[in-house]
């Protein structure tokens, strides 16, 4: 009797339609095996629990005034972590918006640059991958106002029903045209699973092209040779590159350290470097204030400090 019931359930599962699970090619994602010595670490006790009692840094209520732009000017406002507001004369684009105070048990230790209700009207939303610090469903629901959203392949199911009128899923090097904006998904050396079992989800960075100007948001990535290819395909004005969480509790090589971010910047051939992915959440063992200091030191050693722009959350900068 039990066998018959199991057989019927198995038959139903086979008939049930499901999202096609396409595995990312092995050379595109980081190793899933934990690094040497990870079991000797106590991330919960050493990092997570102490941060709960930390007072959040930054300004809780920051009044922000977005400038009026002319011509091909681009305004970049860092919200915090990997979240950015990119503005042109006609459009406002949100990338990886996240106003969450907690990532499950991980506390946000710096306030966002401004309150979510101070946002201008948003024309387009981009999400680089499904990790909780980049795809926050509560934030996305709050910013959705019947505009389109662009995500990597097999991430669309996570943003469906949140209030976007169209969901565009891109594969690597595919593009989406939104009026005068052209959005292209670029490769990264990371992984896209939101949970352990959904490793089929895509991930990457975004190239935003507007009137001959180009902004590159890297998403999350460890250093890899792909930055050279991105630089060959696109002339990049502004490169938004991650510099934090390079000493993770798993001892895996999943994010760039500041020196690697400088190397990636040079291989991209970009004109300006804007660092991100540090300071807001304790995702690694490195000291909170260390990433930008190491970045500035390395840029100074190479004589490229004048190409480095370390932004303050909530302060619009025109390029």
Looking at residue 237, what is its pLDDT? 98
DSSP 238: E
Both structure tokens of 261: 């971010």
Residue 254: count of CB within 10 angstroms of its CB: 22
Looking at residue 26, what is its pLDDT? 38
Burial class (CB in 10 A: 0-12, 13-18, 19+), 78: buried
User: Is 310 in contact with 275 (CB distance < 8 Å)?
Assistant: yes
Looking at residue 140, what is its pLDDT? 98
Q: Measuring CA to CA, which residue among 258, 266, 263 is closest to residue 242?
A: 258
Looking at residue 312, what is its pLDDT? 95
SS (H, E, C) 246-289: CCCCCCCCCCCCHHHHHHHHHHHCCCEEEEECCCCECCCCCCCC
216 forms beta bridges with 207, 239
DSSP 152: E
SS (H, E, C) 175-206: EEEECCEEEEEECCCECCCCCCCCCCCCCCEE
Looking at residue 31, what is its pLDDT? 58
Looking at residue 22, what is its pLDDT? 37
- Rounded to the nearest 10°, the torsion over CA 116, 117, 118, 119 is 70
User: Is 229 in contact with 221 (CB distance < 8 Å)?
Assistant: no
274 forms beta bridges with 240
SS3 of residue 105 by DSSP: coil
Looking at residue 255, what is its pLDDT? 87
Looking at residue 211, what is its pLDDT? 96
> pLDDT per position in the chain (319 positions), as tens?
434 433 444 344 344 334 444 343 434 666 555 566 656 667 677 778 888 888 898 877 678 899 999 999 999 999 999 999 999 999 999 999 999 999 999 999 999 999 999 999 999 999 999 999 999 999 999 999 999 999 999 999 999 999 999 999 999 999 999 999 999 999 998 878 898 778 889 999 999 999 999 999 999 999 999 999 999 999 999 999 999 988 776 656 778 999 999 999 999 999 999 999 999 999 888 899 999 999 999 999 999 999 999 999 999 999 9
Q: Measuring CA to CA, which residue among 34, 14, 10 is closest to residue 196?
A: 34
Domains of the chain: 39-318 (3.60.15.10)
Whole-angstrom distance, CA of residue 245 vs CA of residue 57: 18
Whole-angstrom distance, CA of residue 110 vs CA of residue 314: 12
User: Is 283 in contact with 248 (CB distance < 8 Å)?
Assistant: yes
Looking at residue 308, what is its pLDDT? 98
């Amino acid at each position: 009797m039990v066998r018959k019931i199991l057989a019927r359930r198995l038959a139903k599962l086979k008939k049930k339609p499901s999202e096609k699970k396409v595995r990312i090619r092995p050379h595109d994602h980081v190793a899933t095996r934990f690094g040497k010595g990870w079991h000797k670490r106590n991330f919960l006790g050493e990092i997570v629990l102490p941060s709960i009692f930390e007072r959040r840094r930054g300004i809780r209520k920051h009044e922000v005034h977005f400038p009026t732009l002319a011509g091909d000017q681009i305004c970049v406002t860092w919200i915090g972590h990997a979240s950015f507001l990119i503005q042109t004369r006609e459009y406002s684009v949100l990338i990886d918006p996240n106003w969450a105070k907690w990532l499950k048990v991980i506390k946000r230790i710096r306030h966002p640059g401004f309150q979510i209700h101070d946002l201008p009207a948003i024309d387009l939303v981009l999400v680089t991958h499904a990790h909780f610090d980049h795809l926050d469903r509560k934030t996305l629901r709050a910013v959705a106002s019947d505009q389109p959203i662009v995500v990597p392949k097999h991430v669309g199911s996570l943003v469906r029903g949140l209030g976007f009128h169209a969901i565009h899923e891109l594969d690597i090097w595919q593009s989406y045209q939104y009026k005068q904006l052209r959005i292209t998904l670029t490769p990264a050396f990371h992984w896209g699973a939101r949970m352990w079992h959904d490793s089929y989800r895509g991930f990457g960075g975004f190239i935003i092209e507007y009137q001959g100007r180009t902004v590159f948001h890297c998403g999350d990535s460890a250093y890899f040779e792909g930055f050279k290819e991105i630089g060959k395909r696109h002339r990049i004005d502004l490169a938004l590159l991650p510099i934090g969480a390079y000493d993770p509790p798993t001892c895996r090589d999943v994010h760039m350290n500041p020196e690697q971010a400088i190397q990636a910047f040079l291989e991209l051939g970009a004109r300006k470097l804007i660092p991100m992915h540090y300071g807001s959440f304790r995702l690694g063992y490195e000291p909170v204030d260390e990433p930008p200091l190491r970045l500035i030191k390395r840029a100074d050693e190479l004589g490229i400090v004048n190409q480095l722009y370390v932004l303050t959350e909530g302060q619009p900068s025109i390029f």
